[in-house]
Amino acid sequence: MKKIAVAGTGYVGLVAGVCFAEMGHSVTCVDIDEEKVNLMRSGVSPIFEDRLEELMQKNYAAGRIEYTTDYASAYEEADAIFIGVGTPEQPDGSANLSYIATVARQIAESVVKDCLVVVKSTVPVGTNDKVEQFISDFLVNDVRVEVASNPEFLAQGSAVKDTLYAERIIIGTESTWAEELLTELYQPFNLPIVSVNRRSAEMIKYASNDFLALKISYMNDIANLCELVGADVQDVAKGMSFDDRIGSKFLNAGIGYGGSCFPKDTKALEHIAQQHGYDLRTVKAAINVNTDQKTMLYKKARNRLITFNGLKVAVLGLTFKPGTDDLREAASLENVPLLLEQGADVYAFDPVGAENFARVHPEGQHGRGSITYVASVEEALQDANVCFIFTEWGEVKAVTPAMYKNLMRTSLVYDGRNIYPVADMQAVGVEYHSIGRQA
């Protein structure tokens, strides 16, 4: 078993670290945040992720994982250093690589034996060539340091499962030494490994994420057309899904994709294409469809109601998808401010995301409108004039059509996640608007 250091303890770094420890490697996770390190040492996960805390505690007790702010000692001993720091979007759509550069510099100054640096973070094609050059420029000791690309495909909410039982491991290397070492590290996972060159590995990540974003935007586009021509997008998706070439996943039309990855990676690839003088029309179209999709229901409701002023608006779900407390690029972040601006009294329910949302929009008055966070869907719906569903949490799906009818003042529901069969809502007299289906 090998000694592994992991830089960054966000979704990518921490989950990778914990899973490598679970596979028997000896792992040290490095983060600059002392408070976070202490928290992790006490067995608490800084992120909400199924099974993560349990595996953190198990592997910490077994002595296979440690957390530290002392990067030098962690990197000194490592056979491989995984980089899982963020590459946030910059105003022009490009990826901010400053966190990667900081870690690369620290590695160059710390390593005392040959080691492989493995970049898991999503980076523009060609970045890892530069990281390798950068490390070699700043290298203090006479050792061999190579850089490999090993993009991450985990989704938030199922991160541990996605890592332990990944459909494929992509390794992008430029030497047999790097390829063999990385293959050995993944051996205990017993998963299919696709070994390619570094640039192809970097590209596989963008091409995969952007394809999925495109697939969703395509279905949203089709959904909008379905409404106009009298078709039902869920039936259309079902009919399409039986074709193996299309597949059944990611065909759900809705309020648009959110999260930290699809919005960022579509813009980043478009930016990369632009830099090479290429117009990446398909991805551009996906971005445009998604932007419009996010406020589609709000606009429909505004037309129907004329104004939100003084209305009680129930908002069910704030996060960008269920199973996470993450709000990045969530549809709620677009829609709630619009509702508040219009003078709505918003009553928001989210089982785990409310606290994060309240940091951006604190409870209380906001101009003419106000926001109140409630602990149950019933409280949100009680006497409401209109309801928006932004996230398909289990707690939201458990609300029966009759509850909307009985609890709300006016049972007017805008569902961005197509949770209910239209007929079930209509049967109890709810005015139900969803995506790509007939009202």
**Feature table: binding site for NAD(+):** 31, 36, 87, 122, 264, 328
Q: In angstroms, what is the minimal distance from the CB of 198 to ligand UGA? A: 18
Binding residue ranges: 31, 36, 87, 122, 205, 250-254, 258, 264, 321, 328
The CA-to-CA distance between both ends of the chain, in Å, stands at 59
Give the x/- contact pattern for ligand UGA in 262-301, rule: CB under 6 A: x---------------------------------------
Q: In angstroms, what is the minimal distance from the CB of 18 to ligand UGA? A: 16
Q: In angstroms, what is the minimal distance from the CB of 205 to ligand UGA? A: 7
Stretch that binds ligand UGA, among 67-75, 152-160, 168-176, 372-380 (CB under 6 A): 152-160
Stretch that binds ligand UGA, among 151-159, 275-283, 351-359, 424-432 (CB under 6 A): 151-159
Q: Which is nearer to ligand UGA, 86 or 369 (CB)?
A: 86
User: What is the greatest pairwise CA distance in the chain?
Assistant: 76
* 152: nearest Cα among 100, 98, 219, 201: 201
Stretch that binds ligand UGA, among 97-105, 177-185, 257-265, 378-386 (CB under 6 A): 257-265
Question: Which residues ranging from 205 to 234 are in contact with ligand UGA (CB under 6 A)?
Answer: 209, 212, 216
Q: Which is nearer to ligand UGA, 92 or 167 (CB)?
A: 167
Calculate the dihedral angle through the C-alpha atoms of 244, 250, 253, 258, rounding to the nearest 10 degrees: -160
Among 257, 349, 388, 393, binds ligand UGA (CB under 6 A): 257
Question: Which residues ranging from 108 to 147 are in contact with ligand UGA (CB under 6 A)?
Answer: 122
**Options 19, 115, 226, 261, the catalytic residue:** 261
Q: Which is nearer to ligand UGA, 48 or 153 (CB)?
A: 153
Q: Which is nearer to ligand UGA, 169 or 261 (CB)?
A: 261
Q: Which is nearer to ligand UGA, 56 or 261 (CB)?
A: 261
Q: In angstroms, what is the minimal distance from the CB of 261 to ligand UGA? A: 3
Q: How far apart are CA 421 and CA 433, in angstroms?
A: 11
Among 26, 156, 173, 385, binds ligand UGA (CB under 6 A): 156
Residues contacting ligand UGA: total by CB under 6 A? 20
Q: In angstroms, what is the minimal distance from the CB of 137 to ligand UGA? A: 29
Q: In angstroms, what is the minimal distance from the CB of 39 to ligand UGA? A: 22
Question: Which residues ranging from 294 to 333 are in contact with ligand UGA (CB under 6 A)?
Answer: 320-321
- Whether 261 is a known active-site residue: answer yes
Among 17, 124, 259, 401, binds ligand UGA (CB under 6 A): 259
Stretch that binds ligand UGA, among 1-9, 180-188, 247-255, 397-405 (CB under 6 A): 247-255
Encoding tokens for residue 292? 């419009």
Among 59, 127, 234, 252, binds ligand UGA (CB under 6 A): 252
* 384: nearest Cα among 295, 315, 335: 315
Q: In angstroms, what is the minimal distance from the CB of 321 to ligand UGA? A: 4
Alpha carbons within 13 A on the beta-carbon side of 12:
19
Cα–chain center distance at 178: 29
For the annotated catalytic residues, the residue numbers are 261
Q: Kindly list the residues in this chain that would bind ligand UGA in the complex (CB under 6 A).
A: 122, 152-156, 209, 212, 216, 250-252, 254, 257-259, 261-262, 320-321
